[in-house]
Amino acid sequence: MFAESLSSHLVARLQTSVTMSVVSVDQMFYSEYTLSTAKPSCLYVFGIGEMNARAVMEMSPQLVLAIISRMLGGTSSGEERPRPITKIEQNIIKGVVVRILSDLEKAWTTIIDEKFVLERFETEGDFMQIAPTSEIVLVISLEVAIADHKYLMNLCFPTFVLEDVLAKLNTQNVGMARSGEQPNWSPTILKGLESTTLTATCLLGQSKLTLQQLMELEPGDVLMTETPIAGELSVLIGEKKRAFGRPGISNGKKSVKITQVIETENE
């Protein structure tokens, strides 16, 4: 929802094709995240309503400069090498940043009703200080494609901010599971499994040897098995014993006649 809404806004604002997609969702220590941020970078710290918490939206300088270039009538290629953006460029891009936070806020309204308010701009991760260094943070990486060029944008949320959110999500999922009947997928699954190939093995017998006896084996030696000559043989499906049978010949081929099927509690 957030990616689609922001893409539509940027298409209208930049007059070129814009697509956004989630690349990854990772958990890491906040200290690891700050070390992973580029230098220089474009880091926008924003407050989350009355929760007394902060999060970060990270945009690569190339992405910011590409958006500014399109807004001023230039190309979307931006600059190959990252550089700090100037005060004038910060003012130009600020409106876009506020709109991004507005779209992000709307995407979260189904879970929390809080305002996302832009607080400040930083160029280095060491100056953000939105969480203790040992705090676990959730980092959502998005790829922003403007025309033929691709750029990276990250959203960083401390996990203590998301604790209440996750609790609400779990409550909603439980409510949805109880509110309606779940479809019965068993027939469809069983039909798909009918053509699955399994290995069937008939265990003719087993014998226990010491290492010394194994070393002394020679051609012609006879091994005594634990299965009587008239006893039933174990039939394995995969690696599990599922039946018993007797060996014989069928149509000139060696075969096993199933005499008993081992049933489990779930069958």
- pLDDT tens digits, one per residue of 28-85: 898 888 888 888 889 999 988 777 788 899 998 889 998 888 888 877 666 667 788 8
In angstroms, rounded to a whole number, what is the distance separating the alpha carbons of residues 60 and 125?
13
Read off the tokens for 70: 């399109």
Task: Report how far apart, in Å, the C-alpha atoms of 260 and of each of 244, 257, 263 are.
Answer: 5, 9, 9
Q: Which residue has the higher pLDDT, 181 or 50?
A: 50
In angstroms, rounded to a whole number, what is the distance separating the alpha carbons of residues 42 and 128?
11
CA torsion sign for 195, 196, 199, 200 is negative
Per-residue pLDDT at 138 exceeds 70: yes
* pLDDT at res. 79: 64
* pLDDT at res. 133: 84
Task: Report how far apart, in Å, the C-alpha atoms of 11 and of each of 15, 64, 92, 186, 261 are.
Answer: 5, 15, 17, 45, 65
Domain assignments of the chain as residue spans, ordered by start: 2-163, 199-261
Q: Class assignment of domain 199-261?
A: mainly beta
Please check whether residue 152 is in contact with residue 57, taking contact to mean a CB–CB distance below 8 angstroms.
no
DSSP state of 202: E
Q: Which residue has the higher pLDDT, 148 or 51?
A: 148
Statement: 2-163 belongs to CATH 1.10.3470.10:
no
* pLDDT at res. 159: 84
% of the chain residues with pLDDT over 90: 7
Provide the whole-model pTM. Answer: 0.59
Identity of the residue numbered 247:
P
Q: How confident is the model at residue 230 (pLDDT cuts 50, 70, 90)?
A: confident
3-state SS class at 220 = coil
Q: Which helix (H) or strand (E) holds 195?
A: none
Mean pLDDT score, 222-246: 84
